[in-house]
Every structure is written in structure tokens, then in C-alpha cells.
Structure 1
Amino acid sequence: MPKMKSHRGACKRFKTTSSGKIKRERMNGSHNLEKKNSKRCRRLHQTALLEGLKAKQIKRMIQA
């Protein structure tokens, strides 16, 4: 049986922390920033963690 391949799109979008949690970037933080206030821009540039069932699915896609 051949090896399982990891999902390349998921590998580019998600990273794992040293404790095994899944990090992701927030959307809407790359362009049209002049319309958004400074507080919102700062928040959009922070990374977020995935939780629950979605994190389990992404972990399976990355570590195949």
C-alpha cells in the first residue's frame, strides 16, 4: 500500500506549535488596510489557534 500524502494546501496554511496545537492566520489582514482601523489591523495580524473537531481534521491532513 502506498504512503499517505499530506495535504499540501493545508501544510501551507497551518502550522503546529511545539505543544501540538494548530496555528492559523486570520483573514482580511493583507490588503485594503486603509479602510480598517488600527486596532482591527493589529488584531488581524495576530495568529489564532484552532480548537475542537476542526483541529483534529487539520492535524490529520498535515501529518499524513
Structure 2
Amino acid sequence: MMLEPSIDKLLNNINSKYTLVTLSARRARQMQDTKKYLIDDYESEKYVGIALEEINEGKLYYSNDSY
């Protein structure tokens, strides 16, 4: 069974597996509360999967602008 999007594709957008997991989990909780999505056409049935699809399409990203 192949998961989509693949971890390799996702790591092109988010360079840390820890950040990827944290960001997708937070976004999944947000979607569960608001029922609002950043993409219209998604394949996953679960919130974490939809969050990963949003990251893959560049709609959800992490910026480390701490300065």
C-alpha cells in the first residue's frame, strides 16, 4: 500500500519530519473544529491526510521567521 503524498514529496516543502508531523497534526485539529479546507479536491478521508495534501500542494507551509 502506497501512501500519497509520499514523504519524499512532502520533505521538499517542509525540511524536517518533526515539523511536518507537528504542522499536519495542528492543521488536522483546526480542520476538525472549523470544517474549512485550503484545497477543494482532496483524496484522503482523514484530516491528517488532507493536511498532508495541503502541504504537498503548497497551500500550507511553515515559516521560521523568528527575527
Shorter chain as denominator, the TM-score bin is under 0.3
| Structure exhibiting the larger radius of gyration computed from Cα positions | 1
TM-score, structure 2 normalization: 0.24
TM-score, structure 1 normalization: 0.25
- Of Structure 1 and Structure 2, the greater helix share is in 2
